[in-house]
Structure 1
Amino acid sequence: MPDAARLVAAICLAIVAFIVSGQIVPLMPESTDFGYFLYVNIILGAVVGWTVMGPRAGRGVVSAINNGLTGMLVFVLWGLFIQGANEMVRLAMRNRYDGPFEAIVAIFEIGAEYGLIMLVPVVIGTLIAGGVLAGLATEVAWRKWR
């Protein structure tokens, strides 16, 4: 059921996804082709905000902070998985893998490599602050527009 909390959560996480994606681009090698990286992350942020954070609003301030941090963690994990799968498909088209199991394992290896690239204080700080603010904004929206 659509409500203001879901909408605010989706918008907030999409904004945080936009900001963090912009911070990650300079951390990658110069030869990286980002393609739809920004758009995929923004849509993923909106979907996670709508489905994960929105329904859990209305339980208090501490729960709102936890909700925001949980939403941000889910966003990061799904983002690493999707971007890893995208890179695996690109490499699979070049016949890099011997079999399907090796390709599936590569998704997690590539996602782990991308996760290590993200371990920069600025990115981590933005994710934490963005998650907390998104959780609080979702809670305010739930209280104001029930």
Structure 2
Amino acid sequence: MPTAPKLVAGLLLAALAFVVTEMVKAGLPSSITVGAVSEVNALIAFFGGWKFIGARVGKGTSAAITNGITGTFATTVVCLFVHAVEQMVADSMDRKYRTVFEAIDGAITYFLEYGSFLLTLNILGLMAIGAIIVAVAAEVASHYWR
């Protein structure tokens, strides 16, 4: 059932994901080319905010902050997984892997590599503060709109 808090959480988490992805892209070497990563992450984050944060509003500010951090972390994991599997499939089409287990190992390697791009103080701080803002905004929206 669509509600205003779900919409607020989805839109704000999508905006946060877009900004974080743009910050990560700015820090990448110029030899790395990326496509529509920001838009894909924003789309995933919209549904993550809708499902993980917006669906759990109405239990107070402390619960909202916890849900915001949890929802942001879960959305980050899903985004990393999607991009790691996408790269693994592209490598599989180039016949880089001989077995399924090599492909799974490749996906895990890409997951960890992409996750390491997030391990800077600026990005982690933005994600933490953004998660709190998203959650509190969704909580406030739940008090004004049902």
TM-score (structure 1 length as normaliser): 0.96
Q: Distance in 1 between matches of 2:28 and 2:89?
A: 19
What letter matches 1:144 in structure 2? Y
Q: Distance in 1 between matches of 2:41 and 2:130?
A: 14
Alignment root-mean-square deviation, CA: 1.0
Structure 2 counterparts to residues 113-124 of structure 1, below 5 A: 113-124=113-124
Q: Distance in 1 between matches of 2:19 and 2:130?
A: 9
What letter matches 2:71 in structure 1? G
TM-score (structure 2 length as normaliser): 0.96
- Who is 1:88 aligned against? 88
- Percent identity between the two aligned chains: 34
What SS does structure 1 have at the residue aligned with 2:117?
helix
What SS does structure 1 have at the residue aligned with 2:34?
coil
- Who is 2:36 aligned against? 36
Q: Distance in 1 between matches of 2:111 and 2:26?
A: 18
Structure 1 gaps, min length 5: none
Structure 2 gaps, min length 5: none
Deviation at 1:21, TM superposition (A): 0.7
What SS does structure 2 have at the residue aligned with 1:32?
coil
Number of residue pairs matched by the alignment = 146
Q: Distance in 1 between matches of 2:66 and 2:119?
A: 21
Q: Aligned pair 1:19/2:19, yes or no? A: yes
What letter matches 1:73 in structure 2? F
What SS does structure 2 have at the residue aligned with 1:118?
coil
Q: Distance in 2 between matches of 1:15 and 1:38?
A: 10
Deviation at 1:44, TM superposition (A): 0.6
Q: Aligned pair 1:72/2:79, yes or no? A: no
